[in-house]
């Protein structure tokens, strides 16, 4: 949750803030928050990611960090659990695990994570959306709110969803890669449900490191239902955006990761795993 700060500052400090805003193109709000974050050693506007998208497509599902360690780096984000056992939603400092049928439970701090992307969410842009007929329409509207094709963005969307279609990865069998594992994923839907979409937009140039484009997970208001977004119909949604300026990757030190061939472009496999083979977005 963001807060508004009203205070008096010296004329010289005001001039320095104005000069930095002119030099960098950043808003005064961004600059002040960045300086305060540095003073208090907080990583605002920083994405912290465990492992890489290429590693996930290759089936590197062995956990390499704990939920408790992940929370040190953020209070908002998404990912998965060891052996691709469901979808992870990190929301307001709590980590949730969505499994078969969208059943959600809070994950223990010692649960292992093979891949996750998190941040400290502080919204800088807000917009109310009216009628959303499908996921493609939602993404087109979000496109108009993003400032650049080259900037990472954290995304939170709250409201009541007329219909939301989700999936949850089921535990992968030994030797399966991402496409094989998600071919038997659980798909389900809920109607007239209140909740929040949590996720990110990442530039195309980052596709070997993270999921490029939109990546969104859902958690219901009562924290009992959730999953990975694959379809949507809604009215009256509130969108909040958090602009990210730093991207940090924690490289796993597992034998599996160190021995893997990660030179391939994972885009095609990620597209199948994220959206299925169909080109029409629901």
Average pLDDT for 18-33: 79
The per-residue pLDDT for range 30-63, each reduced to its tens digit, is 678 767 766 655 556 899 999 999 999 999 999 9
Q: Dihedral, CA atoms, 229, 248, 18, 144, nearest 10 degrees? A: -20
Q: Is the pLDDT of residue 93 over 60?
A: yes
Distance CA 119, CA 240 (A): 14
Indicate the pTM of the whole model: 0.82
The answer to whether 200 and 47 are in contact (CB under 8 A) is yes
Q: How many CB atoms lie within 10 A of CB 278?
A: 8
Residue boundaries of the structural domains of the chain: 9-42, 46-275
DSSP codes joined into one string, 128-156: EEEEE-SHHHHHHHHHHH-S-SSSEEEEE
CATH of domain 46-275: 3.30.1330.80
- What does the pLDDT read at residue 174? 87
Q: How many CB atoms lie within 10 A of CB 277?
A: 8
For residue 62 the two structure tokens come to: 């062995």
Reported confidence tier of residue 277, pLDDT bands at 50, 70, 90: very low
Distances (CA, A) of 239 to 43, 110, 243: 22, 32, 13
The answer to whether 71 and 64 are in contact (CB under 8 A) is no
- What does the pLDDT read at residue 193? 98
Nearest to 123 by CA among 241, 30, 246, 239: 241
User: Mean pLDDT of all residues in the chain?
Assistant: 89
User: How far is CA 196 from its chain centroid?
Assistant: 12
- What does the pLDDT read at residue 29? 77
The per-residue pLDDT for range 95-145, each reduced to its tens digit, is 999 999 999 999 999 999 999 999 999 888 999 998 999 999 999 999 999
Distances (CA, A) of 53 to 10, 212, 229: 47, 9, 18
- What does the pLDDT read at residue 276? 56
């Amino acid at each position: 949750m963001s807060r508004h700060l009203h205070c008096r500052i010296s004329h010289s400090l005001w001039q320095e803030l104005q000069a930095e805003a002119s030099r960098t193109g950043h808003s005064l709000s961004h600059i002040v928050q960045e300086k305060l974050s540095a003073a208090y050693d907080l990583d605002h506007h920083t994405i912290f990611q465990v492992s890489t998208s290429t590693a996930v497509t290759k089936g590197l599902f062995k956990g390499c960090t704990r939920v408790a360690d992940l929370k040190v780096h953020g209070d908002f984000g998404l990912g998965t659990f060891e052996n691709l056992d469901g979808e992870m939603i990190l929301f307001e400092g709590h980590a949730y695990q969505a499994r078969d049928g969208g059943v959600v439970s809070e994950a223990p701090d010692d649960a292992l994570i093979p891949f996750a992307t998190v941040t400290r969410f502080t919204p800088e842009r807000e917009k109310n959306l009216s009628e959303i007929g499908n996921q493609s329409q939602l993404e087109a509207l979000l496109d108009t709110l993003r400032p650049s094709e080259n900037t990472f963005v954290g995304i939170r969307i709250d409201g009541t969803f007329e219909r939301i279609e989700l999936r949850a990865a089921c535990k992968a069998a030994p030797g399966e890669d991402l496409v094989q594992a998600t071919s038997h994923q659980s798909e389900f839907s809920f109607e007239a449900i209140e909740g929040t979409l949590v996720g990110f937009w990442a530039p195309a140039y980052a596709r070997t490191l993270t999921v490029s484009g939109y990546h969104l997970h859902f958690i219901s208001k009562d924290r009992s239902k959730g999953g990975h977004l694959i379809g949507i119909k809604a009215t009256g949604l509130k969108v909040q955006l958090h602009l990210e300026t730093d991207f940090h990757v924690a490289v796993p030190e597992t034998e599996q990761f160190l021995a893997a061939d990660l030179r391939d472009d994972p885009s095609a496999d990620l597209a199948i795993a994220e959206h299925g083979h169909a080109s029409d977005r629901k």
